[in-house]
Structure 1
Amino acid sequence: MSNTEIESVNLEVQKERWNQTRVVKAAVDTRLAENEVLLRIDRLALTTNNISYASAGDSLGYWRFFPAEDGWGRLPAMGWAQVAMSAHPDIAEGERVWGFFPLGTHLKVLAGKVSSQSFADVSPHREGLAPVYAQFDRATAYPIYEEAREDQDSLLRGLFMTSWLVEDFLEVNQFFGAGSCLITSASSKTSIALAHCVKQRGTLASVAITSAGNVEFCESLGCYDQVVTYDAIASLDNAGPVVMVDMAGSKKVLSEIHHHIGDNMKYSCRIGATHVEDFGPVDNLPGATPEFFFAPGHLQTRSKELGGAEFMMLLGGAYAGFRQFCDSWLNVARSYGADSVEAAYQQVLAGKANPATGQIISLWEGGE
């Protein structure tokens, strides 16, 4: 390797078989073109959200964020990085930024849309993708930034935004006339965030649908009004209108719930894929047709309607409250190096991760 190159390490997954992984090492040219920035990826959050990105990798463009060889993909993950080198006059070396990164050690971007709050990767392959996924937020401009909470923010900030947007979408649509919201994979952090938002507004009852082993955990959180196991779906009240947010992605679970609720299913959206072994489309279900919720689309709509400053104030205030709520139950575990990260990924993929634990990973051996 020449003195103008450094080695990057990335964990890649097969697009069609997510349990198949490989570690790819490649040379990164440190000679930067105008406005290029080299980011050193420090720590990333690994949650069921990452599996959801794989499930919608082609339909929503997640595989296009960080291109890889045919048949292989680089999963996006949220976390923190440091500017290692910069050829942009308004981006300083050493600056900390938060955003989407590949499961790797480095990312070179073409910086544009630079402001005091953020900058974006305007590389050609990003064209046509939702702008929010190409944006890197500057720590110096983040109003509730605390260095000690970087791991927590990596785990919660992005998924909370998704859940907050879902709940806001329901409110904008007058909750589709429903009195309760069914939430599958209720022990996942995205589901917990949604239940917290529902509870805070106080309009809908939040109903957790989870595995038997996670009932006690879900009940202990205090944000679910009812907890039901997957094998007790038939016990759900189907006498009145409901909405459902499906984080599990299981064809079997989705079908059972729709057939039990029938025409009283007024809105059904799919977000997650925690049950990867049974993920797939389901057609001709009674009630509202399930549809994928595209958070960036609603984000753009609401930002225009409310104004960017008002929107961010509402979201930021809600997130600060959720972050404080998580202090009482969320524990952080860290995995360093390719082997440990691969093992952590397989555990999350298999649905065996402890719901009270948040997994932080770094491809750097021994940590940052």
Structure 2
Amino acid sequence: MNNQELLVSRNDISKFELSTSHIKPLQPGEILLQINKFGLTTNNVTYAVLGEEYHYFDFFPTKKKGMAKVNVWGISTIIKSNVTELPVGEKIFGYFPMSQYVLMKPFKITKSFFYEKRDKLPLDMIVYNQYVRISHDPYYDPRHVDYMLVFRPLWWTSFCLDDFLNEKRFFDAENVIISSASSKTAFGFALMLRRNNRRKKIIGITSGKNMDFVKSLNLYHVVVNYDHVSELEQKPSVYVDVAGDDNLGDTLQSTLGSNLKIRLLAGISHQTTEQRSTKGSEVFFAAPWIDHRRREIGREFVRRNVVSWRALMDNVHEWVDITKGYGSKSVIKAYKSLIDGESSPNQGFVLSMHEKDAEDMLSKL
């Protein structure tokens, strides 16, 4: 059996190629999963841009020199198994490469999830190693599967940003300024601020072309064009940078001075590999914060997330339309639109490297 996957250059994520390899026979303790479909957003572009420095390229190594795999969150089906506890036909949600298939060697198997062992990765990235069995997944709702694939990884960042800032008492700020306000991570965070009644003025910064969309969300108290950030009011503020735009951060720093309490870098939707910088910002990753809070308050942290997740699912269809695509050409087209900044903010990609609906294919076997 052959496996087709998308590889990108480690040094320039705008350069990519399709690769086809033969899947080796299953060894004891291994399973083979068919990756049915996955969400693709600027979050995945972030994984690629930070791939070298933050180990994202190490999850699914490739032997092809200078190339790497872009990671996505998706749903798969076990199609071959040498693990008694994980039968053929079971559906799994988790972190995968943009491929048709993937071999895994699970351990710590429970009725709800299992782990993939990746000893060379930092311990605080263990959340990426957990694979959820759909049959016991509190986030899974068959009515909202495609929205789950687009928003679930983004939602953890949105949720954790709100939780982190609340724990820090928002650094005594009155305003919360969010760049790339049209992005799903940004407006998910704004929803959390609203839902939890944080009593902060939420200021969204966006481009002229996305101004109407951001206003239509009714989540920001004020929506500002990038060209007018120097006109922001002198109030104690925290800045959550989803765009990853150093120049914008510097302008805000110059405008607000000591009123800018912290610059949190939470995304890099405006950056390429060559432009990447974290100058002047504190980098915020959801994974270490999740690990910290799980140790601190245990299952209560996940319970809070599930409750807020369901509130998002009740509203998200009003804001975003799902664009589906099958086959490598569709995947490449969507990937290019994201790295070129040409995708629409009300668009969510749900894709498959298979030419047809993979789940439908399995049902007919």
TM-score range normalised by the length of the shorter chain: over 0.9
Query: What do the CA deviations read for 1:61-104 (whole angstroms, capped 9, x no partner)?
Result: 11111112332111111111111111111111111111111111
2:205 to 183, 202, 209: 209
Q: Is the 8 A contact 2:71 2:98 kept in 1?
A: yes
Q: Report the TM-score, using the length of structure 1 for normalisation.
A: 0.93
Shift of residue 144, structure 1, vs aligned partner: 4.3
Shift of residue 59, structure 1, vs aligned partner: 2.5
Q: Is the 8 A contact 1:109 1:123 kept in 2?
A: no
Farther-moved stretch of structure 1 (53-62 vs 193-202):
53-62
Distance 2:118 2:171 in 1: 40
Q: Is the 8 A contact 2:265 2:278 kept in 1?
A: no
Q: Say whether 1:228 aligns with 2:224.
A: yes
Distance 1:212 1:302 in 2: 38
Q: Is the 8 A contact 2:182 2:210 kept in 1?
A: yes
Determine the structure 1 residue equivalent to 2:282.
291
Q: Say whether 1:159 aligns with 2:154.
A: yes
Determine the structure 2 residue equivalent to 1:303.
294
Q: Report the TM-score, using the length of structure 2 for normalisation.
A: 0.94
Query: What do the CA deviations read for 1:131-161 (whole angstroms, capped 9, x no partner)?
Result: 1101111111113422232211100111101
1:324 to 289, 306, 314: 314
Point out where structure 2 has 5 or more consecutive residues left out of the alignment. Answer: 359-365
Q: Is the 8 A contact 2:118 2:129 kept in 1?
A: no
| Identity across matched positions, percent | 28
Determine the structure 2 residue equivalent to 1:334.
324
Farther-moved stretch of structure 1 (249-258 vs 206-215):
249-258
Determine the structure 1 residue equivalent to 2:48.
54
| Aligned CA distance change for structure 1 residues 317 and 326 (closer, same or farther; 3 Å) | same
**1:114-125 alignment, distance < 5 Å:** 114-125=109-120
Shift of residue 55, structure 1, vs aligned partner: 2.2
Q: Is the 8 A contact 1:110 1:123 kept in 2?
A: no
SS of residue matched to 1:207: strand
Distance 1:279 1:312 in 2: 35
One-letter amino acid of the counterpart of residue 28, structure 2: E
Distance 1:229 1:76 in 2: 32
Q: Say whether 1:42 aligns with 2:36.
A: yes
One-letter amino acid of the counterpart of residue 216, structure 2: S
Shift of residue 123, structure 1, vs aligned partner: 4.5
Determine the structure 1 residue equivalent to 2:363.
none
Determine the structure 2 residue equivalent to 1:348.
338
One-letter amino acid of the counterpart of residue 263, structure 1: S
Query: What do the CA deviations read for 1:273-331 (whole angstroms, capped 9, x no partner)?
Result: 11125832264xxxxx41111211110111121122x1111110001101111021221
Q: Is the 8 A contact 1:246 1:269 kept in 2?
A: yes
Runs of 4 or more above 4 Å deviation: 123-129
Shift of residue 241, structure 1, vs aligned partner: 1.2
Point out where structure 1 has 5 or more consecutive residues left out of the alignment. Answer: 1-5, 284-288
Q: Say whether 1:281 aligns with 2:277.
A: yes
Shift of residue 129, structure 1, vs aligned partner: 6.3
Distance 1:104 1:299 in 2: 27
Q: Is the 8 A contact 2:322 2:348 kept in 1?
A: yes
Query: What do the CA deviations read for 1:25-66 (whole angstroms, capped 9, x no partner)?
Result: 00001x322221111101111100011112221222111111
Distance 1:305 1:128 in 2: 16
